Chains A and B, each alone.
Chain A
Amino acid sequence: MPSSRWLRRGPLALVAVLALLLSACGDGDAADDGPLTVYSGRNQELVGWVFEDFTAATGIEVQVRYGDTAELAATILEEGDASPADLYFAQDAGALGALEAAGRLTTLPDDVLDLVDPNLRAPSGVWTGVTGRVRVLAYNTDVLSAEEIPGSVFDLTDARWRGRVGWAPTNGSFQAFVTAMRITEGEDTTRRWLEDMLANDPVVFSNNTGALEGVARGEADLALVNHYYLYRFLAEDPELNVANAYLPGDIGGLVNIAGVGILATSDRQEAAEELVRFLLDEPVQSFFAQETDALEFPLVRGIDSPELPSLESLDPPQVDLSRLEDLQGTLELLTEVGAFE
Chain B
Amino acid sequence: MRRGRHAPPPPTAAASGPAGTVTGMERRPLLSPGVAEPLREPPEAPAPARGPRAVVGTHPLVWLPALMVAGAMLLPAVYLVIAAAELPLARIVAIVTDGATLRLAGRTLLLAGSVTGASLLLGVPIAWLTTRTDLPARRFFAVATALPLVIPTYVGAFTLVGALAPGGLIESWIGWRPPSPYGFGGAFIALTLFTFPYVLLTVQAALRGLDPSLEDASRSLGRGPAATFFRVTLPQLRPAAAAGGLLVTLYVLSDFGAVSILRYSTFTRALYLQYRTAFDRAPAALLGLMLVVLTVIFVVAEARVAKDRGGQFGLRGPGRPPPRVPLGRWRVPAAMLTSTVVLLGLVIPVTVIAYWLVRGVAAGEAVDVALGAAGRSLLVAALGAVAAVLAALPVAIWSARSRSRVARLAERASFTGYALPGIVVALALVFIGIRVATPLYQTLAMLIFAYVVLFVPQAIGAIRASLLQVQGNVEAAARTLGSARLAVLRRITLPLARRGALAGGALVFLTVLKELPATLLLAPTGFDTLAVRVWSATEEAFFTRAAIPAMLLIVLGSVPLAVAMVRERREVG
A27→B490 CA distance, assembly (Å): 35
A66 and B528: CB pair below 8 A? Answer: yes
B280, B359, B430, B440, most chain A CB atoms within 10 A? B430
Does B261 contact A210, Cβ atoms closer than 8 Å? yes
Interface set, chain A 17-56, CB cutoff 8 A to B: 18, 21-23, 25-29, 37, 43-46
- Of the stretches A2-10, A107-115, A118-126, A300-308, the one at the interface is A2-10
Contact B434 A65 (CB under 8 A): no
For window 109-161 of A, CB contacts with B under 8 Å fall at none
* A313 located at the interface, meaning its Cβ lies under 8 Å from any Cβ of chain B in the complex: no
Whether the pair B265, A66 counts as a contact (CB closer than 8 A) is no
User: Residues 212-224 of chain A: 1 if any B CB is under 8 Å from the residue's CB, otherwise 0?
Assistant: 1110111100000
Within the complex, the shortest CB–CB distance from B394 to chain A, in Å, comes to 11
Contact A28 B279 (CB under 8 A): no
Judge whether A236 and B543 touch: CB under 8 Å.
yes
- In the complex with contacts A68-B520, A75-B427, A219-B166, A175-B525 CB distance below 8 A: no
B495 lies within 8 A of chain A by Cβ: yes
Q: Counting CB contacts under 8 A, is B334 at the interface? A: no
Q: Is A78 an interface residue (CB 8 A)?
A: yes
Q: In chain A, residues 208-267, which have Cβ atoms closer than 8 Å to a Cβ of chain B? A: 209-210, 212-214, 216-219, 229, 232-233, 235-238
Please encode chain A, from 196 to 215, with 1 for each CB lying within 8 Å of some chain B CB and 0 for all others. 00000000111001101110
B539, A43: Cβ atoms closer than 8 Å: yes
Using Cβ atoms and an 8 Å threshold, which residues of chain A touch B220?
Answer: none
| Selected contact of A232 from candidates B274, B278, B541, CB within 8 Å | B541
Task: Please report which residues of chain B, range 120-178, place their CB below 8 angstroms from some CB of chain A when the two chains form the complex.
Answer: 158, 161-162, 165-168
Query: Which residues of chain A from 156 to 205 have any CB-CB distance to chain B below 8 Å in the complex?
Result: 170, 172, 175, 204-205
Cα distance A37–B543 in the bound complex, in angstroms:
28
Write the chain A residue with the least CB distance to B537.
A45
Query: Is A95 located at the chain interface by the 8 A CB criterion?
Result: yes
Contacts of B451 in A (CB 8 A): none
Q: Is A309 engaged at the interface, CB distance under 8 Å to the other chain?
A: no
Q: How far is the CA of A63 from the CA of B525 in the complex (A)?
A: 6
Cβ 8 A contact of B532, one of A66, A238, A340: A66
A210, B261: Cα distance in complex, Å = 8
Q: Is A84 an interface residue (CB 8 A)?
A: yes
Once A71-B517, A95-B279, A331-B277 are accepted as A-B contacts, the answer to whether A25 and B363 lie under 8 Å apart by CB is: no
* CB < 8 Å neighbour of B383 from A7, A21, A84: A21
Among A23, A233, A328, the residue within 8 A (CB) of B278 is: A328
Q: How far is A53 from B400 in the complex, measured between Cα atoms in Å?
A: 57
Q: Most chain-B CB neighbours within 10 Å: which of A1, A79, A214, A238?
A: A1
Known contacts A45-B536, A217-B167; A327 and B278 CB within 8 A of each other: yes
Contact A78 B431 (CB under 8 A): yes
Taking CB atoms, residues of chain B closer than 8 Å to A15 are 390
Least distance between B518 CB and chain A CB atoms (Å): 11
Q: Determine the distance from Cα of A235 to Cα of B12 in the docked complex, in whole angstroms.
A: 59
B270 at the interface (CB under 8 A from A): yes
Q: Size range of the interface on B?
A: 35 or more
**Chain A positions within 8 Å of B14 at CB level:** 1, 4-5
Q: How far is the CB of A41 from chain B (nearest CB, A)?
A: 11
Q: Is the CB of A14 within 8 A of B390?
A: yes
Q: How far is the CA of A29 from the CA of B263 in the complex (A)?
A: 41
Once the chains bind, are B165 and A214 in contact (CB under 8 Å)?
yes
Whole-angstrom CA separation of A213 from B166 in the bound complex: 11
**Complex CA distance for A18 and B379, rounded to whole angstroms:** 11
Q: Evaluate contact between B276 and A236: CB separation under 8 angstroms.
A: no
A172 to B356, CA, bound (A): 26
Cβ A209 vs Cβ B260 within 8 A: no
Contact B363 A66 (CB under 8 A): no
Residues in chain A near residue B544, CB distance under 8 A:
236
Cα distance A185–B57 in the bound complex, in angstroms = 67
A213 close to B162 (CB less than 8 A): yes
Q: Are the C-beta atoms of A78 and B490 separated by less than 8 Å?
A: no
State whether B427 touches A204 (Cβ < 8 A): no
Q: Does chain B have a CB within 8 A of A80? A: yes
Cβ of B494 within 8 Å of any chain A Cβ, yes or no, is yes
**A64, B539: Cα distance in complex, Å:** 18
Complex contact A28–B524 (CB within 8 A): yes
**A73 adjacent to chain B (CB < 8 Å):** yes
**Closest approach, in angstroms, between the C-beta of A47 and any C-beta of chain B?**
10
With a cutoff of 8 Å between Cβ atoms, the chain B residues found around residue A57 in the complex are none
- Give the contact stretch, choosing among B25-33, B41-49, B442-450, B463-471: B442-450
Q: Which chain B positions have C-beta within 8 A of A28?
A: 442-443, 524-525
Choose among B363, B444, B448 the residue that contacts A235 (Cβ–Cβ < 8 A): B363
Q: Count residues of chain A with CB under 8 A from any CB of chain B.
A: 76
Known contacts A29-B439, A204-B263, A209-B541; A73/B279 CB under 8 A: yes
CA distance A15 to B14 in the complex (A): 23
Residue of B nearest to A95 (CB): B279
Cβ 8 A contact of A84, one of B17, B441, B444: B441
Shortest distance from the beta carbon of B391 to any chain A beta carbon, whole Å:
11
Contacts of A95 in B (CB 8 A): 279
Interface residues as binary, B526-547 with A (CB distance below 8 Å gives 1, 0 otherwise): 1010001000111111111100
Chain A residues with Cβ below 8 Å from B269 are 170, 340
Residue from the list B265, B441, B501, B526 in contact with A64, Cβ < 8 A: B526
Smallest Cβ distance from A206 to chain B, in angstroms? 5
Q: A67-B520, A71-B423 are in contact. Are A4 and B495 (CB under 8 A)?
A: yes
Complex interface bits, B19-57 against A, C-beta within 8 A gives 1, otherwise 0: 000000000000000000000000000000000000000
Interface flags for A80-110 (1: CB within 8 Å of B; 0: not) read: 1011100000000001001000000000000
A142 to B12, CA, bound (A): 70
B566 at the interface (CB under 8 A from A): no
Q: Is the CB of B526 within 8 A of A65?
A: yes
* Interface: B275 (CB within 8 A): yes
User: Which residues of chain B are near A232, meaning CB under 8 Å?
Assistant: 540-542
Q: Given A8-B494, A341-B265: A74 and B427 within 8 A (CB)?
A: yes
CA distance A320 to B289 in the complex (A): 36
CB closest chain-B residue, reference A169: B273
Shortest Cβ gap from A330 to chain B (Å): 7
Complex Cα distance, B113 from A27, in Å, reads 45
Given contacts A4-B15, A28-B524, A78-B430, is CB(A46)–CB(B540) below 8 Å? yes
| Residues on B with beta carbons closer than 8 Å to the beta carbon of A73 | 279
State whether the Cβ of B521 lies closer than 8 Å to any Cβ in chain A. yes
The reply to whether the CB of A59 lies closer than 8 angstroms to some CB of chain B is: no
* Contact call B280/A328, Cβ cutoff below 8 A: yes
Chain B residues with CB under 8 Å of A66's CB are 520, 528, 532, 536
Whether the pair B448, A217 counts as a contact (CB closer than 8 A) is no
Q: Pick the residue among A1, A22, A77, A84 that contacts B281 (CB under 8 A).
A: A77
Q: Contacts A66-B532, A71-B517, A84-B441; is A237 near B539 (CB within 8 Å)?
A: no
Whether A22 contacts B545 in the complex (CB less than 8 A), given A218-B167, A237-B363, comes out as no
Task: Given A210-B261, A217-B166, A236-B543, verify A25-B273 contact (CB < 8 Å).
Answer: no
Expressed in whole angstroms, the Cα–Cα distance for A59 and B466 within the complex equals: 56
Return the chain A residue nearest B17 by Cβ.
Answer: A4
Per the bound structure, the CA–CA distance linking A252 and B186 in Å amounts to 31
**Residues of B in contact with A (beta carbons under 8 Å apart):** 12, 14-18, 100, 158, 161-162, 165-168, 182, 260-261, 263, 265, 269-270, 273-281, 356, 359-360, 363, 365, 383, 386-387, 390, 393, 423, 427, 430-431, 434-435, 438-445, 448, 490-491, 494-495, 498, 501, 517, 520-521, 524-526, 528, 532, 536-545, 570-571
Q: Can you identify 7 A-B contacts, CB atoms within 8 angstroms?
A: A7-B495, A27-B439, A45-B540, A63-B525, A67-B521, A70-B276, A98-B279
Beyond the given A28-B442, A328-B277, could you list 4 further A-B residue pairs with CB under 8 A, ordered by the A residue number?
A29-B438, A65-B526, A70-B277, A214-B165
* A interface residues (Cβ-Cβ under 8 A, vs B): 1-5, 7-8, 11, 14-15, 18, 21-23, 25-29, 37, 43-46, 63-68, 70-75, 77-80, 82-84, 95, 98, 170, 172, 175, 204-206, 209-210, 212-214, 216-219, 229, 232-233, 235-238, 293, 325, 327-328, 330-331, 335, 340-341
Top 6 A-B residue pairs of the complex, sorted by shortest distance between their CB atoms: A217-B167, A1-B15, A4-B15, A22-B445, A98-B279, A25-B444
